[in-house]
Chain A
Amino acid sequence: MIYLKGPDAHEWSLAGRLHQRADLVPFLDYGSYRIRYALAGPADAPAYVFVNGLTQYAELWDSYGGALVAKGFRVATFDLLGQGISDKPGLFIGQDDQVAVLRLLIEELGRGPVFLCGISFGGLIALRYAIAHSDRLAGLVPMSCFAELSPQLLLLGNALRTGLILGGTSYLQDLLLPMNLSDAWLGPQLTNLDKIKRQGWLTNDVYALQNLMESFLDFKPLTPQLSSITVPTMILNGEFDFLTPRALHETLRIEIPNSGLIIIPRAYHAFTLEKPQLTVDLLSRFAEQVLAEQWIGNRSIWIAPDDAGGPLEPFPDGYDHLRAIPVRGAAT
C-alpha cells in the first residue's frame, strides 16, 4: 500500500500538494475517472474514512490524520469525484457515483473495522453508503448532516448555487465562511481570509462545484431508509449550525436505532475546521467504545465538552433539545 503522508507532510503548502508528481499520488480507478486518495497509519489498525464537504479537499483532514494515527488508527482521506485533484466530470456527477467511489476506497482497506465519517454533503454520501453497506461498517459518524432537504435548506442551496453561478467560487466562499464559522474563529482570521479562501479557490472549479450541487436536483429524501442503518452511529451537530440545524439531525437520531446525538457547544456548521482537537477526541472515544462493545446509542442526546478530554454531559432531562431557549420538552 502506498503511503502518501511522510513526516514532512505538514510542511507542504497546499499548492505544492496539488502539484505533486503524479507518480507519488495514489489514485483509484472509477470507470474512466481517477480518484485521488491517501492512507496513513498501520494497515492492520481500525480505520477512519473521512468524506469531504462540498467545497472541501482531502488536505483539510491532515490534522485529523496525524492525531488519529497517533491514537492507533488508520486514516483514509480522498477527494470526491469533482473535487480537489480527483477527476472532474464535465457535466454530470450522480450521488450514486460518489457512493460507488467510497465503496472502492473502503475495499482498499481490507477487512478490518471501518469507521465512516462525513461532513455535510460528505455526511449525506456516508449515510447513503451506510444504507447500502451497513454490514461493512463498524461505526458511522454523520456530522453537520441531513437526510432530507427542508424548505430552508433547499432554498439556501438554491441561493448558494446562484451565488456560485453569478459570482464564482470566491463569492460562494464569502457566503459560506460567515455562515459556517464562529466569530471566535473568524475574528483573528479577518486579515488572513484572502489566504484561507485562496486554497479553496485554487482547488475548486466552478463547473465541478455546480455539478456537485446539481446532484441534488433529483434528490429523494433518505429518511425512510435510515432505519436500515444498524451500526453504532454518533451524530455530531454544532450548537449554532445555521445551514443544517438541529431538526435535520433529529431525523437521523429518531430513525437510526443505535444512534446518539452529540451537540458541540458554541459550534457552527464547519466545526471540524474550527474544533479539530475536540472532534478528534470525540471520534477516537466513539471508536474505542464501539470496539470495546461499550457504545450504547439508544437515541440518546449529549452535550460535548468545550475542550478535548472533558466529560460528555447528558442533555438535561425534560428540556427540548430542538429549541434555543430552555423550554420544557413534551413528555415521552
Chain B
Amino acid sequence: MSCFLGPLDISGRLPPKQQTRIGAFLISAHGALMRQLTLALGMPSERSWLAELNAQLFRETEIVSLMLQATRWVPDLELLALCPSWEAAWLITPVPNIPDQTQGWIIDLAALGHAIHGAVRPAAVLPDGTPRDDAFAEALRRTEFESGRLIQAQILFLKSPEFVSMRDAVGAAVDRRHAQVRRLWREVLASIGVASEASA
C-alpha cells in the first residue's frame, strides 16, 4: 500500500476513483460545516462573531464548490453507504461536562471545524511530481492551505478566556473530534489504497 495517491496516468492525472472518493469526503465534511455555520449565523447570541462566521461560511462554500468542479467524478456505489455514515459523524452533540447546553453545542461545532481543518491534510497525500496545473491536485492544495487559515478562528474561540475554567472539557472535546475525523480520513485513504500514519 502506497503512502500517496496514484499512480498518475500518462497525462499526470490522479485516478478518477481516488478523486471521486476524496472529493465526496471533502464535500461532505466542508458541506456539513457550511450548513452548521449557516445555522450559527442565525443565533442571536453569536453576533460578536458575525464577521468571522460569515467569512468561514463563504470559505467553506468555496471549498465545496471547488471540489465539485475540480473532481473527475466516476460512479462509486460504495458512496451510497459511506456518505450517510460521514453525515452522521458530522452531527453536532453537546460536549460533556459543559453545564450550558447551547455552549456545549457551539464548542462541539468549533471542535469539529478544528478537526476537519487540522486532521484532514489532503495535499499531504499528493505524490511527488503531481503537475502544478492539475485541477484536482490544486484543489487539494487550496483546501489544505485554506484549512490552515480557517482553523485559526476555531483556535481563537476554543482557547478564549471564557473557556479557561472548562479547559479540560474543551480540550477533550477537540481531541475526541480529532480522533473521529482522523479515523474517517484514514478509512477513506485505505479504501483507495493509501496507507496513513503509523499511529493508526
Residues of A within 8 A of B (CB): 15-16, 18-22, 24-25, 27, 32, 34, 36, 85-92, 165-166, 168-169, 195, 198, 201-202, 205-208, 210, 214
Give the interface segment out of B40-48, B62-70, B76-84, B151-159: B151-159
Per the bound structure, the CA–CA distance linking A169 and B141 in Å amounts to: 13
Known: A89-B171, A90-B118. A21 touches B198 (CB 8 A): yes
Fill in one digit per residue for B132-175: 1 if any A CB lies within 8 Å of its CB, else 0: 00000000000001001101100100110000000100110011
Per the bound structure, the CA–CA distance linking A304 and B9 in Å amounts to: 53
- How many residues belonging to B are interface residues under a CB distance threshold of 8 Å? 32
Per the bound structure, the CA–CA distance linking A214 and B167 in Å amounts to: 15
* A85 interface neighbour in B111, B115, B152, B198, Cβ under 8 Å: B198
Contact partners of A15 in chain B: CB under 8 A:
3-4
**Residue with the highest number of chain B CB atoms closer than 10 Å, among A34, A198, A205:** A205
Min CB–CB distance A86 → chain B (angstroms): 8
Min CB–CB distance B44 → chain A (angstroms): 27
Known: A90-B111, A91-B170, A92-B171. A210 touches B155 (CB 8 A): yes
Can you show 9 pairs from A to B with CB atoms below 8 A apart? A15-B4, A18-B198, A86-B199, A90-B111, A90-B114, A90-B115, A90-B118, A205-B121, A206-B148
Of all chain B residues, the one with the shortest Cβ separation from A211 is B155
**Residue with the highest number of chain B CB atoms closer than 10 Å, among A21, A36, A92:** A92
Known: A22-B198, A32-B175, A168-B145. A206 touches B118 (CB 8 A): yes
Q: Are A85's CB and B155's CB within 8 A?
A: no
Q: Are A22's CB and B199's CB within 8 A?
A: yes
Q: Are B124's CB and A202's CB within 8 A?
A: yes
Of all chain A residues, the one with the shortest Cβ separation from B118 is A207
Min CB–CB distance A181 → chain B (angstroms): 23
Q: Which of B80-116 contact A (CB under 8 A)?
A: 111, 114-115
Contact partners of A195 in chain B: CB under 8 A:
128
Contact partners of B117 in chain A: CB under 8 A:
207
Q: Are A206's CB and B198's CB within 8 A?
A: no
Of all chain B residues, the one with the shortest Cβ separation from A194 is B128
Of all chain B residues, the one with the shortest Cβ separation from A15 is B3
Q: Are A207's CB and B4's CB within 8 A?
A: no
Per the bound structure, the CA–CA distance linking A210 and B114 in Å amounts to: 13
Q: Are B155's CB and A22's CB within 8 A?
A: no
Min CB–CB distance A9 → chain B (angstroms): 15
* B114 interface neighbour in A16, A25, A207, A214, Cβ under 8 Å: A207
Min CB–CB distance A84 → chain B (angstroms): 9
Min CB–CB distance A3 → chain B (angstroms): 16
Per the bound structure, the CA–CA distance linking A21 and B196 in Å amounts to: 10
Per the bound structure, the CA–CA distance linking A25 and B198 in Å amounts to: 7
Q: Are B197's CB and A18's CB within 8 A?
A: yes
